[in-house]
């Protein structure tokens, strides 16, 4: 009897022990599975967003010969409905110190062909400290020169960037290496200025310094002379207002990519290219001011000698706006005046310009995914090259743009 009880007890302990082992095994598996579920993979941090802009520029047009090559190729004669931008943005903090950003545009053009895919941005940021306050950016990205150049076209109020500073870097981008520094709190402020709809420029650091090819985006280097650029811009909170003063400058030598047969130019097509600019931003809370001015030297066509020469350049703009909120809707009336006198190194024969232009517009955002801009432009433009040494065009036009954000 005792032996039977002993055997029964031993068998019970064996079964109980087996159940405990099985339970422990299930618990371990559950913990491992939970850890695998919560573990973050690099691809989990990738974000995809974008925007699409469709324009029409021919309403109330008074002069079909008035054009702006660097602004919008659908201005003037033979212009119609036009997809200005169709951007997809892939980005992500794939590790604590590595961030990447790739942006193709599906509405670029080459010659007479439109709607081709072209790379706009392709870079990564390497953080040098745990908070990524110090960063090195490598690849094709915006050159840190000018607030409006840094500001995304998705956020900008006027339909095109101003001639004066945008003529420094066509498409605002180039291949290079840039160092950025900004305190953690300032980086957070840069982000909120965009997210809150205050038309911020994004995070390009309080201080920037870098070297780039100087031939613009998607172009190979044409000489052994890199451009050097530096920028200092700091947002300051004053009660409910935020202002951001800034200064920037660059220097280098550029090789002209497009010249007419017969025009006089340097044998190697290389020219001095130097600029300095000042910026002042008062964010629209609710009244806003955005103003910039630059001076410098660069290649410019001279019709009196039929040659391309290094000449002085100058110009800037001022934009004033007022932000109105109606529930979830936003209305932003704005006006801008701009002036530029100098060459455009990216255009044929470093085309000579003198621009006086005024714009009155209204941006309506019924919700965050859709925006409509109506803008009336009063323009006076002299733009001359070897083929058109006397070309002054003046006129007015009403411009429309519908934009979706996703």
pLDDT for residue 21: 46
Segment 89-124, tens digit of pLDDT: 999 999 999 999 999 999 998 778 889 999 999 999
Q: How far apart are CA 179 and CA 47, in angstroms?
A: 24
pLDDT for residue 5: 44
pLDDT for residue 252: 98
Q: How many CA atoms lie within 13 A of 375 on its CB side?
A: 26
- pTM equals 0.88
DSSP state of 44: G
- What is the chain's pLDDT, residue by residue, as a tens digit (406 residues)? 445 545 544 544 444 455 544 545 555 455 445 445 556 787 888 999 999 999 999 999 999 999 998 889 899 999 999 999 999 999 999 999 999 999 999 999 877 888 999 999 999 999 999 999 999 999 999 999 999 999 999 999 999 999 999 999 989 999 999 999 999 999 999 999 999 999 999 999 999 999 999 999 999 999 999 999 999 999 999 999 999 999 999 999 999 999 999 999 999 999 999 999 999 999 999 999 999 999 999 999 999 999 999 999 999 999 999 999 999 999 999 999 999 999 999 999 999 999 999 999 999 999 999 999 999 999 999 999 999 999 999 999 999 999 999 9
pLDDT for residue 241: 95
> Is 173:120 a contact under the CB 8 Å cutoff?
yes
Distances in Å between the Cα of 351 and the Cα atoms of 67, 105, 240, 347 are: 13, 26, 44, 6
* Among 253, 250, 259, 219, residue whose Cα is nearest residue 351: 259
Q: How far apart are CA 99 and CA 93, in angstroms?
A: 4
Distances in Å between the Cα of 317 and the Cα atoms of 15, 118, 236, 280, 378 are: 85, 29, 22, 11, 14
Three-state SS annotation for 60-92: CCCCCCCCCCCCCCCCCCCCCCEEEEEEEEEEE
Q: Quote the tokens at residue 89.
A: 């943005």
Segment 242-261, tens digit of pLDDT: 999 999 999 999 999 999 99
Q: How far apart are CA 254 and CA 221, in angstroms?
A: 9
> Is 145:170 a contact under the CB 8 Å cutoff?
no
Q: How far apart are CA 358 and CA 66, in angstroms?
A: 14
Q: Which residue has the tokens 């973050």?
A: 40
Q: Quote the tokens at residue 337.
A: 């005046």
Segment 164-201, tens digit of pLDDT: 999 999 899 999 999 999 999 999 999 999 999 999 99
Structural domains of the chain, with CATH: 40-405 (2.40.160.10)
pLDDT for residue 238: 93
Q: Quote the tokens at residue 288.
A: 């806003």
């Amino acid at each position: 009897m005792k032996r039977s009880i002993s055997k029964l007890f031993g068998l019970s302990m064996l079964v109980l022990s087996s159940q405990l082992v099985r339970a422990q095994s299930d618990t371990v598996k559950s913990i491992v599975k939970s850890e695998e579920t919560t573990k973050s993979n690099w691809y989990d941090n990738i974000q995809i967003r974008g925007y699409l802009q469709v324009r029409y520029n021919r309403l109330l047009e008074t002069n079909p010969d008035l054009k702006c090559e660097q602004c919008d190729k659908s201005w003037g004669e033979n212009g119609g409905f036009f997809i200005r931008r169709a951007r997809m943005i892939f980005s992500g903090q794939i590790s604590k110190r590595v961030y990447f950003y790739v942006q193709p545009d599906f509405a670029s053009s080459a010659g007479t062909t439109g709607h081709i895919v072209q790379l706009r941005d392709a870079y990564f940021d390497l953080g040098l400290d745990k908070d990524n306050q110090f960063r090195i950016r490598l690849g094709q990205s915006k050159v840190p020169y000018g607030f409006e150049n840094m500001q995304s076209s998705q956020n900008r109020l006027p339909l095109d960037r101003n001639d004066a500073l945008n003529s420094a870097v066509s498409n605002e981008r180039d291949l290079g290496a840039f160092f950025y520094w900004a305190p953690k709190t300032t980086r957070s402020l840069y982000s909120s200025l965009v997210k809150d709809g205050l038309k911020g420029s994004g995070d390009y650091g309080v201080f920037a310094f870098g070297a780039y090819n100087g031939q613009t985006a998607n172009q190979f280097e044409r000489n052994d002379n890199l451009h050097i650029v530096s920028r200092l811009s700091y947002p300051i909170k004053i009660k409910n207002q935020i202002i951001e003063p800034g200064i920037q400058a660059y220097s280098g030598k550029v090789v002209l990519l497009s010249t007419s047969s017969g025009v006089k130019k340097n044998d190697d097509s290389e020219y001095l290219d130097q600029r300095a600019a000042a910026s002042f931003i008062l964010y629209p809370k609710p009244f806003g001011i955005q103003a910039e001015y630059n001076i410098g030297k660069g290649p410019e066509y001279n019709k009196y000698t039929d040659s391309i020469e290094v000449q002085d350049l100058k110009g800037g703009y001022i934009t004033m706006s007022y932000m109105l909120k109606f529930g979830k809707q936003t209305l932003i009336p704005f006006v801008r005046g701009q002036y530029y006198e100098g060459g455009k190194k990216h255009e044929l024969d470093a085309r000579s310009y003198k621009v006086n232009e005024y714009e009155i517009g209204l941006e309506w955002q019924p919700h965050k995914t859709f925006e409509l801009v109506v803008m009336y432009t009063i323009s006076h433009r002299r733009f001359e090259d070897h083929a058109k040494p006397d070309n002054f065009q003046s006129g007015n036009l009403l411009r429309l743009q519908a934009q979706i954000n996703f």
